Chain A
Amino acid sequence: MMAVSQRIGREAIEKKGWWQAHRWLILRRTSQLSILGLFLLGPWAGIWIIKGNLSSSLLLQTLPMTDPLLLVQTLLAGAVLPASSAIIGAVIVLFFYLLVGGRVYCSWVCPMNLVTDGANWLRERLNIHPVLALSRHTRYWMLGLTLLLSLGTGTLAFELVNPVSILHRGLLFGLGFGWVVVTGIFLFDLLMSKRGWCSHLCPMGAFYGLVGRYSPLRVRADQRDRCDDCLECYIVCPEPHVLTPVLRNAAQGAPPVVLSGECTNCGRCIDVCAEEVFTFGHRSRSPVSPSQHPARPAKQS
Chain B
Amino acid sequence: MNGHGEKRLPGYHPSRRKFLTDMAATACGVGLLGMGIGLYSRQARSLPATAIRPPGALPEEEFQARCIRCGLCVRDCPYDILRLAKPGEEVATGTPYFIARTDPCEMCEDIPCVPACPTGALDHTLTDIRNARMGLAVLVDQESCIAFQGLRCEVCFNVCPIRGEAITLDRQHNLRSGKHALFIPVVHSDSCTGCGLCEKACILDEAAIRVLPRRLAKGKVGEHYRFGWKEKEAAGGSLVTPDPEHRYNLPEGVEYEHGGRGLIFNRDIDKVPVEGQQAEEPFSSDPLETQRRGIKETE
Contact residues of A with B, CB < 8 Å?
42, 48, 51-53, 55-58, 64, 66-67, 70-71, 74, 77-79, 81-82, 84-86, 89, 134-135, 137-138, 141-142, 144-145, 148-149, 152-161, 165-166, 169-170, 172-178, 180-181
B141 proximity list for chain A (CB < 8 A): none
CB of B87 within 8 Å of the partner chain: yes
Which size class do B's interface residues fall under? 35 or more
Q: Can you list, as one digit per residue, whether each of B232-265 has a CB less than 8 Å from chain A (1) or not (0)? A: 0000000000000000000000000000000000
CB atoms of B86 and A56 under 8 A apart: no
Complex partner residue of A138 from B30, B67, B120, CB under 8 angstroms: B30
Segment of B69-77, B154-162, B269-277 in the binding face: B69-77
Chain B interface mostly helix, strand, loop or mixed?
A: helix
Segment of B37-45, B101-109, B215-223 in the binding face: B37-45
CB atoms of B120 and A165 under 8 A apart: no
Complex partner residue of A157 from B26, B38, B118, CB under 8 angstroms: B38
- Name the residue among A52, A82, A142 with the largest chain B CB count within 10 angstroms: A52
Give CA–CA (A144, B38) in the complex, Å. Answer: 14
CB atoms of B119 and A160 under 8 A apart: no
Complex partner residue of B37 from A56, A66, A158, A173, CB under 8 angstroms: A158
CB of B34 within 8 Å of the partner chain: yes
Complex partner residue of A154 from B31, B64, B75, B76, CB under 8 angstroms: B64
CB distance from B113 to the nearest CB of A (A): 12
A175 proximity list for chain B (CB < 8 A): 86-87
CB distance from A129 to the nearest CB of B (A): 20
Given the contacts A81-B120, A160-B93, A56 and B68 also touching, CB distance less than 8 Å: yes
Contact residues of B with A, CB < 8 Å?
22, 26-27, 29-31, 33-34, 37-38, 40-42, 44-45, 61-62, 64-72, 74-76, 83-84, 86-89, 92-94, 116, 118-121, 124
CB atoms of A160 and B68 under 8 A apart: no
Given the contacts A79-B66, A160-B92, A173 and B71 also touching, CB distance less than 8 Å: yes
25 contacts between A and B (CB under 8 A): A51-B72, A55-B70, A56-B72, A66-B68, A79-B120, A86-B68, A86-B118, A137-B26, A138-B26, A138-B29, A141-B26, A149-B41, A152-B38, A153-B42, A154-B65, A156-B68, A157-B38, A159-B94, A160-B92, A165-B94, A170-B86, A173-B83, A173-B86, A174-B84, A175-B86
Complex partner residue of A141 from B27, B116, B124, CB under 8 angstroms: B27
Cβ-closest chain A residue relative to B75? A51
B74 proximity list for chain A (CB < 8 A): 173
CB distance from B75 to the nearest CB of A (A): 5
CB distance from B67 to the nearest CB of A (A): 8
Complex partner residue of A70 from B40, B68, B86, CB under 8 angstroms: B68
Cβ-closest chain B residue relative to A177? B88
Give CA–CA (A262, B88) in the complex, Å. Answer: 33
Give CA–CA (A33, B111) in the complex, Å. Answer: 34
Give CA–CA (A138, B42) in the complex, Å. Answer: 25
Give CA–CA (A66, B69) in the complex, Å. Answer: 11
Give CA–CA (A138, B119) in the complex, Å. Answer: 30
CB atoms of A177 and B65 under 8 A apart: no
CB distance from A177 to the nearest CB of B (A): 3
Give CA–CA (A86, B118) in the complex, Å. Answer: 5
CB atoms of B44 and A173 under 8 A apart: no
Give CA–CA (A67, B68) in the complex, Å. Answer: 9
CB atoms of A149 and B71 under 8 A apart: no
CB atoms of B71 and A142 under 8 A apart: no
CB distance from B106 to the nearest CB of A (A): 20
Given the contacts A141-B30, A145-B34, A169-B84, A81 and B119 also touching, CB distance less than 8 Å: yes
CB distance from B73 to the nearest CB of A (A): 10
A165 proximity list for chain B (CB < 8 A): 69, 94
Give CA–CA (A3, B71) in the complex, Å. Answer: 45
